[in-house]
Homo-oligomer: A and B are copies of this chain.
Amino acid sequence: MADREITIYDIAEKLDISAATVSRALQDHPAVNKKTKKRINDLAEELGYRSNKFASNLRTQKTNTLGVIVPRLNSLFMSSVIAGIEKVANSAGYNLIISQSLEQECREKANAVTMFNNRVDGLIVSLASNTEDFSHFDSFLKKQIPLIFFDRVAESIHATKVLIDNQKAGYIATKHLIEQGCQHIVHITGNVLRNVYRDRLEGYKNALAEAGFSFDEDMVMSNDLSELAIQESIETLLKRKRLPDALFISNDASAAFALSILKEKGLRVPEDMAIVGFNNDMISRVTEPAITTINYPGAEMGESIARILINHLNNDGDLSVTSKVILDTALVERGSSLRKK
């Protein structure tokens, strides 16, 4: 059985040279004779040698591995981001270890420990919705392991952040509804502890203020954006004496779901109720009417993140340049909000 792993010692022995030379040759070290190099590489190939990463990592203390912690894997936005990260990382010879917090702070903490123990060269994080304590990232900071947050970022941590201008996006979305003649705009969003939701809410308020509308607490519904929560929110709204005439909902899947409920209840969209979503997922394009939304370039964001991190890792030194990268977004106007022709 050819079950035993070939090591550099096997090669060294067969060629009657030292393991050190084999090691050097395999790394294309300049100080090794070309002919020797060739003999070594040929034999390695022939024997089916493969480098033992652990031994190598143990020596060099590098892993060529990036860690990724996200709230959930199964959303189109997240998987696009990850696809983007993977594409760039893979090309640069880095592996990805991926885990999800399932929106639980405790899982996020556990995952961070795992990543740390796995000695990832860098860590990429989007926070769970309710994470309040960030001490699980201290170990990375202390060890100067590059840390990048995206989308849902930890503002208080000194680390690179890649995100969009959520406040602006919230403002644009709301302003658009106002321009379409909506007067009672409800904002359904996630946990405002998180920057993404807080900032969108801020933008919403700004747009209202600018238009001279007063802000009403009751017009903001903050929940976990699950189908159940959306259903309840809509039902609550429809029981009010004064119906809102527009919904600005913080993700497209929820917006699409809300749309289907409204239609079921016999309301017309956008005539009775205009809708604006968020993300520009595929889903926003196929509903009837299609949903006006904010474009959120996931794949692009993923690629940016990986590029920044890997650059960092290569030119190791300028760890001080922890920056904030803001990606562009724009309103995508569709039928769900267009009341004027």
Contacts and interface: CB of A to CB of B under 8 A. Distances in A.
A83 B100 contact: yes
A102 to B, nearest CB: 7
Interface stretch (A159-167, A215-223, A282-290, A310-318): A282-290
Contacts of A95: 97, 99, 114, 118
Nearest to A55: B58
Interface string A89-131: 0100001111110100001000100101111000000000000
A279 B67 CA distance: 30
A142 interface: yes
A176 interface: no
A57 interface: yes
Interface in A52-82: 52-55, 57-58, 63, 65, 72-76, 78-80, 82
A142 B50 CA distance: 14
Interface of A: 2-3, 48, 50-55, 57-58, 63, 65, 72-76, 78-80, 82-83, 86-87, 90, 95-100, 102, 107, 111, 114, 116-119, 139, 142-144, 253, 256-257, 259-260, 263, 282-283, 285-288, 290, 298-299
Given A73-B80, A86-B98, A260-B286, 18 more contacts: A3-B143, A51-B117, A52-B119, A54-B54, A54-B63, A58-B58, A74-B82, A75-B79, A76-B79, A82-B98, A90-B99, A90-B107, A90-B111, A256-B286, A259-B286, A283-B283, A287-B287, A287-B288
In the A-B complex, list the 3 residue pairs whose CB atoms are closest, starting with the nearest: A288-B288, A54-B58, A79-B79
